[in-house]
Structure 1
Amino acid sequence: MDKGGYCMHIMIIGAGSLGLLFAAKLAPVCSQLTIVTRSVGQARELTEHGIQLVGTESQEAKLAKSIVCQSYSEEISGSVVPLAREIDYIFLMVKQTAISPELITYIQSQMTRHTYLICFQNGVGHEVKLSQAIGWDKLFFAITTEGAKRIGPTSVKHTGHGITYLGELKAYNLAATNHHHNFIVQLLELAGFRAELSKNMEVRIWSKLVINAVINPLTAILRVQNGELLRSAWTLSLMKDLYQEVLLLAAAKGIELPVELWDTVQAVCEATKTNHSSMLQDIEASRHTEIDYLNGSIVNMGNEKGIELPANSLVYRMIKAIEN
């Protein structure tokens, strides 16, 4: 491993729950880790206090001198400190709503011909605009089932161990991308994560899309925890309608989803039964949700195929009404 874990520079954009979790665990195995936050205040607190990681094995990941914390707003103002070495991997760990033209320009400014971008977003749509700006050969995708909850600006709780799948959607320069996939998988395993390469990222991304599109909008509309959706025949019927429509769309696009996906949707609901979905949290905090990239994208793709998806259209319009 000529680019061994201890010689890598990783940049993590986004210091929410997953961003802080991955930063805390990757910090000891990287020669340099840069965390890019949305606010100046969080960047300063991280610089001063480090990251406190709470989990089955509570630990505190103090930020070493080789680790840089900066905010996106500082970069825009031109006051950011130059990085010591070029970046090997950028982990994009913000919501789709945060992927603005300005953020894409910032990402481009941080990349060299040796830099690869790994996207951890839910839903679909971001892959098109990022590929247009960066190129498919520099673009990887990740689906993770790691559980994390941000306790504060510098604290995160590891709520459940999972697995992270990585792969590409467009196989340009296949030998080189597989080479770098192996590097990042080894690095994640060195940090204590379970990671695997996947040749079926499109199916994995669509499976995650289905789970989020079925669970999140209903919990946000009904203002309930995830598990409550399983307690009523009425909510189960709504879930099934959303699910069947996405299956119809996937088949029209030639995507074969797992036959057990409906069972998986219910299992996720049960496993996270006391959770407030991210969409419900956004609604409660009067923030814009990711509905445009979940059910909104599903409806748009249905329109392109000439397929009516009334259940997804209804929940999409209801969430947009609630947002406004």
Structure 2
Amino acid sequence: MFGAYLGQNHEVTIFTKREEQAQKIKEMGIRLCFQDGEEKVIAVDAKFGDCIISDQDILIVAVKQYDLPQVMTLLSSASKAIPLCFIQNGMGHLELLNILPQKTILVATVEHGAKRLNDWTVSHNGVGQTNVSVYKGTYEMEKSFPMSADPQFPVSFYEEYRTILINKLIANALINPLTVVFQVKNGRLVDNPYYYELLRLMFEEIYSIFPLGEKEEVFNGVIGICKNTKHNTSSMLKDIQEGRKTEIDAILGYILKVAERKGAKLKTIQMAYVMVKGIEQERR
């Protein structure tokens, strides 16, 4: 999705982990589909992932958090002058970023709904925004970060990276596991009063560990996401349905580790974590 939107007014290269996918993208471009049935094809370059990355203005790292260790060698070999931008869920990956040699590292959260349909096609299922902040180094975000000319792909910049990461962590920690446990789309978490009650219980526990901002404002933000993406299937539920590994360790697992360091016990979060791990094992 990033490649499709940025490729409309920038020179974009997609680095893939399979040679066949790189060849398909080079031949076909990226096909971007919308909910109203419209679609467009954007021409971009593509290279197989183990090539040397040396001539990019910025590298956006879009792999799942649990796949980051596999690409650390590739990232370490990239030029130290190339800024890296990480868009993983959760916050467990921050420790990995500290060992990278790059002078500039950004982190970002993505509010869009998207689904890959095949090796060269992505469906944009819900319009949100990308939130970017500097994790390491100096970087003039408003001046240097690549912006799409398409208003469907806005970007906002923040001075404090923890703010955007914790906000996204809270939303992911509530929506993703509960949609897996109940096997429902996002909107059912607020439509069903019993699901909503559990959503609130989990929020209370998480907020006790991450008391960021005004409490009700943070909670209402999560409710707003559920309503705005009511017809969407969460990324974690999609992973379960397709037999893939989930990011539950990077999300609830991370929260439980932080709580343990603070001497707190989060019983509802622990229950949700174990339930998702059990469902994941059954489906895989």
Above 0.5 in TM-score?
yes
| TM-fit CA distance, 1:190 | 4.0
Which shifted more, 274-283 or 34-43?
Answer: 34-43
Residue ranges of structure 2 left out of the alignment (5+ in a row): none
Q: 1:273 to 1:245 in 2, by over 3 A?
A: same
What does residue 124 of structure 1 align with? Answer: 91
Q: Pick from 176, 180, 188 the counterpart of residue 147 of structure 2.
A: 188
The one-letter code matched in structure 2 to 1:70 is K
Correspondence 1:29 to 2:9: yes
What does residue 87 of structure 1 align with? Answer: 56
Mapped contact 2:186–2:230 kept (Cα < 8 A): yes
Which shifted more, 287-296 or 198-207?
Answer: 198-207
Distance in 1, Cα, partners of 2:75 & 2:229: 33
The one-letter code matched in structure 1 to 2:233 is H
What does residue 156 of structure 1 align with? Answer: 122
Distance in 2, Cα, partners of 1:319 & 1:280: 10
Distance in 1, Cα, partners of 2:113 & 2:235: 13
What does residue 242 of structure 2 align with? Answer: 285
Distance in 2, Cα, partners of 1:283 & 1:189: 32
CA-based RMSD of the aligned residues comes to 2.1
The one-letter code matched in structure 2 to 1:143 is T
| TM-fit CA distance, 1:97 | 1.7
Q: 1:138 to 1:205 in 2, by over 3 A?
A: same
Q: 1:184 to 1:191 in 2, by over 3 A?
A: farther
| Alignment map for 1:1-324 (pairs within 5 Å) | 21-30=1-10, 32-55=11-34, 58-63=39-44, 67=45, 69-72=46-49, 75=50, 80=51, 86-100=55-69, 102-110=70-78, 112-134=79-101, 137-170=103-136, 172=137, 177-179=138-140, 181-185=141-145, 187-190=146-149, 192=151, 193-251=153-211, 255-256=212-213, 259-324=216-281
The one-letter code matched in structure 1 to 2:238 is Q
The one-letter code matched in structure 2 to 1:29 is N
Mapped contact 1:250–1:257 kept (Cα < 8 A): no
| TM-fit CA distance, 1:245 | 0.8
- With normalisation by structure 1, the TM-score equals 0.79
Distance in 1, Cα, partners of 2:245 & 2:123: 25
Mapped contact 2:8–2:149 kept (Cα < 8 A): no
Distance in 2, Cα, partners of 1:321 & 1:148: 26
Which shifted more, 155-164 or 123-132?
Answer: 155-164
Distance in 1, Cα, partners of 2:214 & 2:243: 34
Distance in 2, Cα, partners of 1:281 & 1:124: 21
Distance in 1, Cα, partners of 2:163 & 2:55: 33
The one-letter code matched in structure 1 to 2:275 is M
The structure richer in helix per residue is 1
Secondary structure at the counterpart of residue 122 of structure 1: coil
Post-superposition Cα deviations, 1:21-57, rounded to whole Å, max 9, x if no partner, equal: 2112222433x42211232222121122111122376
Mapped contact 1:143–1:166 kept (Cα < 8 A): yes
| TM-fit CA distance, 1:311 | 0.8
